Chains A and B, each alone.
Chain A
């Protein structure tokens, strides 16, 4: 068997910004085609997705089951339009397939199903169970003395679920240093703002009390996200939580910071406006005016 290597990592931040912009455009296109689904979360986390799949993760889209790969677990399955757009841009499947999102017979199920699409590491959607699954994976990798790392993206809303804290306690107790959790901290959930529904703060202190290393970052700053992931690799005593403070709906003016956009897609007309705004942003990135 020939040896498999991870795909080359992109060092140039400008290139990464352009990829994130393309991912945002693809999110809009797929959501318009789907006619249902979540908009704000995927757009807000596009920079984190980009940093992970194009710079941080050791992976190879041509060999999704490569045994030495890093593992990415999406706990908040509802933001899968962001994951799908990222995986398509990374080369896991053709970008044209993104338009099948949520359609009958698609590999891009409304919430991700592990066995439907090579490269998905788990089935998710019901909130609160991804951190535990990622912890189980990290535990198994340590048992087998493997160097792979596990990255788990989770929402802020699912910090309200008890299962999340069972997972946090387990990861802290077992010093799962190969586990990096990234929280989509956009302060919104379906019914409103997290701090109105069920306040989470001081969330960093809570994780620290569970024996985690915690880093707060600007979740829309690709450079900062990469730095935080690098820092996590230097912590050997604890799992790391990166709290990615981000603007939900980032890049589309009428969606930004509006919780109403948590769980609905743009109409065809709104999609056109969104794409036009994202294209302007793209030009600005090219001209270093972003």
Chain B
């Protein structure tokens, strides 16, 4: 019988309707300030989105270490590369469609490749904060809904890719990014998500964390879909015993934890607020098909652009709800039994 893992230290009111909902980016904002307090080389750059990326909190605390770039995301990445070459640890903040969207080549050449094969201590330590990613940015519409950013960043050698599930994890991811030698991408949505983890919940780059044990099916999720996955597992508990894994670190991917999980459950559902290609679903499918082929269903956006609507309307229309995960679990378990 599946249970919430006690060592995951999730919030006690996980299943309650009055669970706290906080903007994930708030964790980025708090993480920037804490990283800045720890290390004077941390600087924050922003392209005219200081308040909404929460870079403002760092700016207020460390005005001399905040750099305004204006609406110029290519410059955002390349100025950061130059600062990093001189020993700074720049965090660059914008919306994910612009950074790493618009400035993808600049990130590739002047950050990822520029850092490739560095001697220890000589890395290009740029950290990319991509806000308002996914469809949950809602009314702004498809132009502002990045659904391919995880794929873009995953394809760059040496880039670490983190997709935190709530503001608490976002804060940990931001602090860990500052300490990690080399480039890191951290992705946040716009909407306020349920705060499911606590400061004691384990977090490490390159680690999958088990949030719920289960023996019939593994649901592996990141971002806001972790909460939906936990809800799906709870609703299915009398029918199918689901394990829930939180995979903030899409790259490096914790292959060992994946193998351990699927060798017990024998089937997988991935869930993320991204195209099903290129992101978590793509990464898990690629890894398992080479190492331990099992039935897989991927929850995510299916090769289309977003549109305007509320966060809830869009999650429903694009198949990203608890109910969609439940359907996928039933289907993948049937495939396993065939």
Contact = CB atoms under 8 A, between A and B. Distances in A.
Interface string A122-166: 111110110011111111110110000000000000000011001
Nearest to B86: A140
B72 A136 contact: no
Nearest to B81: A133
Interface in A243-257: none
B86 A144 contact: yes
Interface in B264-283: none
Given A166-B72, A170-B72, A136 B119 contact: no
B137 to A, nearest CB: 25
B110 A122 contact: yes
A144 B87 CA distance: 10
B83 A136 contact: yes
B109 A124 contact: yes
A132 B82 contact: yes
Contacts, number: 104
A216 interface: no
B192 interface: no
A252 B6 CA distance: 76
A170 B78 CA distance: 11
B106 interface: yes
B294 interface: no
B170 to A, nearest CB: 26
Nearest to B105: A126
Interface in B226-264: none
Given A136-B80, A136-B83, A139-B79, A169 B70 contact: yes
A129 B86 contact: no
A73 B78 CA distance: 12
A125 B72 contact: no
B78 A113 contact: no
A126 B109 contact: yes
Interface in B75-123: 75, 78-88, 90, 105-106, 109-110, 113-119, 122
Contacts of A125: 109
18 contacts: A114-B85, A115-B115, A122-B82, A122-B114, A123-B109, A123-B113, A129-B74, A129-B106, A136-B79, A136-B82, A136-B84, A137-B86, A139-B82, A140-B82, A140-B85, A140-B88, A166-B74, A170-B79
B70 A132 contact: no
Nearest to A136: B82
Interface residues of B, number: 33
A129 B117 contact: no
A207 B94 CA distance: 27
A276 interface: no
B63 to A, nearest CB: 12
A116 B122 CA distance: 12
Contacts of A169: 70, 72, 75
Name the prevailing secondary structure of the A interface residues.
helix
B93 to A, nearest CB: 15
Name the prevailing secondary structure of the B interface residues.
helix
A122 B77 CA distance: 14
Given A122-B110, A132-B74, A167-B78, A137 B117 contact: no
A65 B75 CA distance: 25
Residue of A124, A138, A143, A162 ringed by the most chain B CB atoms within 10 A:
A143
Contacts of A138: 82
A218 interface: no
B69 interface: yes
Contacts of A73: 82
A172 B64 CA distance: 18
A93 B110 CA distance: 24
A121 interface: yes
Given A114-B114, A136-B84, A140-B83, 4 more contacts: A65-B122, A132-B82, A166-B75, A169-B75
A126 B65 CA distance: 29
Given A122-B114, A143-B64, A169-B72, A115 B78 contact: no
- In the A-B complex, the 4 residue pairs with the smallest Cβ-Cβ separation, listed nearest first, are A136-B82, A132-B78, A166-B75, A140-B86
Contacts of B43: 143
Contacts of A166: 69, 72, 74-75
A73 B75 CA distance: 16
A267 B248 CA distance: 54
B75 A163 contact: yes
Contacts of A135: 79, 82
Nearest to A174: B67
